[in-house]
Amino acid sequence: MEKRLRIAIADDHALFRQGLKSQLLLQPGLEVVGEVDRADDLAALVERVPIDILLLDLQMERSSLIDIKTLGERVAVVVVTASERAEDALAAVRAGARGVVFKRFAIETLMDAIGAVAEGHVWIPPSLQKHLTERLLEPPDEPLTPREREIVRHVALGLRNAEVADRLSISEVTVKTHLNNIFQKLGLRGRTALALYAIRMGIIGIEERS
């Protein structure tokens, strides 16, 4: 018996999600194993059922980039988005998405993307391929977001995660998530290396560490 691809859908627009599910159920070799309409439910969905490919809206109640980074090692993510901005597609690919498909495309295009990703490839809309290839080869101008720079500054000054969370009015879990992303972006390990990076990049002054 041929193995069926297990597909999950994450989109907060009910009509689109239901219509997409109906179309996918008509495709041979596919099985829709779950759906969510909130980004906060993604982790539980991935824990609950085996998924081969997650079809993820780029913007639900928050940007899905953090979810791609968090879940990308466990499931192949194909972003299905109404945004056709090259910058959004580039951000999704850099975060770990294996494919980007515009919502205006027909189901046949989505199936092409699913098939390519299932075979281990990356699928990008042809209209963006040259642009994204050129951009992906460029080093990012600023690897850290303003929020990540705040996190680096406080950690480099010696604050513990709980103290950083209190200072920035966010949860400790959010601080840990930011730190994991920062270490991955910078290729660093440990707070000492992060402090040296902060000094080198002018995020803090040498005198502030003394």
CATH number of 58's domain: 3.40.50.2300
- What pLDDT sits at residue 1? 45
**Digit-coded pLDDT (tens) for 8-31:** 999 999 999 999 999 999 999 999
Is 180 in the same domain as 86? no
Q: Are residues 70 and 124 in the same domain?
A: yes
- 60-78 confidence digits (pLDDT tens): 877 788 888 888 778 999 9
Task: Please check whether residue 131 is in contact with residue 125, taking contact to mean a CB–CB distance below 8 angstroms.
Answer: no
Q: Which pLDDT tens digit goes with each residue over 112-123?
A: 999 999 998 889
Residue 131, pLDDT above cutoff 80 = no
Q: Please list, in sequence order, all residues whose beta carbon lies within 8 angstroms of the beta carbon of residue 31, skipping any fewer than 6 positions away.
A: 4, 5, 6, 7
Cβ–Cβ < 8 Å for 182, 151: yes
Helix axes 146-156, 172-186, angle to 10 degrees: 100
- Measured CA to CA, the distance from residue 155 to residue 196 in angstroms comes to 11
Provide the pLDDT for residue 14: 94
What's the 3-state SS for 83-114?
CCCHHHHHHHHHHCCCEEEECCCCHHHHHHHH
Residue 206 clears pLDDT 90, i.e. is over it: no
Same domain, 21 and 102: yes
- For the stretch 142-188, pLDDT in tens is 688 889 999 999 998 989 999 999 999 999 999 999 999 998 888 77
Query: Cα(6)–Cα(51) distance, rounded to whole angstroms?
Result: 5
Regarding whether 104 and 42 lie in a shared domain, the answer is yes
Query: What tokens does 102 get?
Result: 């515009």
| Domain identity same for 154 and 132 | no
Percentage of the chain beyond pLDDT 70 is: 92
The better pLDDT of the pair 59, 6 is held by: 6
Helical segments of the chain, H only? 14-25, 42-48, 65-71, 86-95, 107-118, 126-136, 146-156, 161-168, 172-186, 191-200, 206-209
Q: Which of 108, 136, 164 is the last residue of a domain?
A: 136
Q: Which residues contact 142 (CB under 8 A, 6 or more apart)?
A: none
Euclidean distance between CA atoms 7 and 25, whole angstroms:
10
Does residue 81 share a domain with residue 159?
no
Same domain? For 59 and 90 the reply is yes
Domain that holds residue 159: 146-209
8 A C-beta contact, residue 55 and residue 80: yes
- Per-residue confidence (pLDDT) for residue 138, from 0 to 100: 57
Res 137: pLDDT? 59
Q: Give the confidence band of 93 by pLDDT, cuts at 50, 70, 90.
A: confident
Burial of 185 (0-12, 13-18, 19+ CB in 10 A): middle
pLDDT at 132: 72
Q: What is the CATH number of the domain that holds 188?
A: 1.10.10.10
- Assess if residue 90 is contained within a domain: yes
Q: Which of 80, 106, 136 is a domain's end point?
A: 136
Q: In total, how many domains does the chain have?
A: 2
In this structure, are 33 and 106 located in the same domain? yes
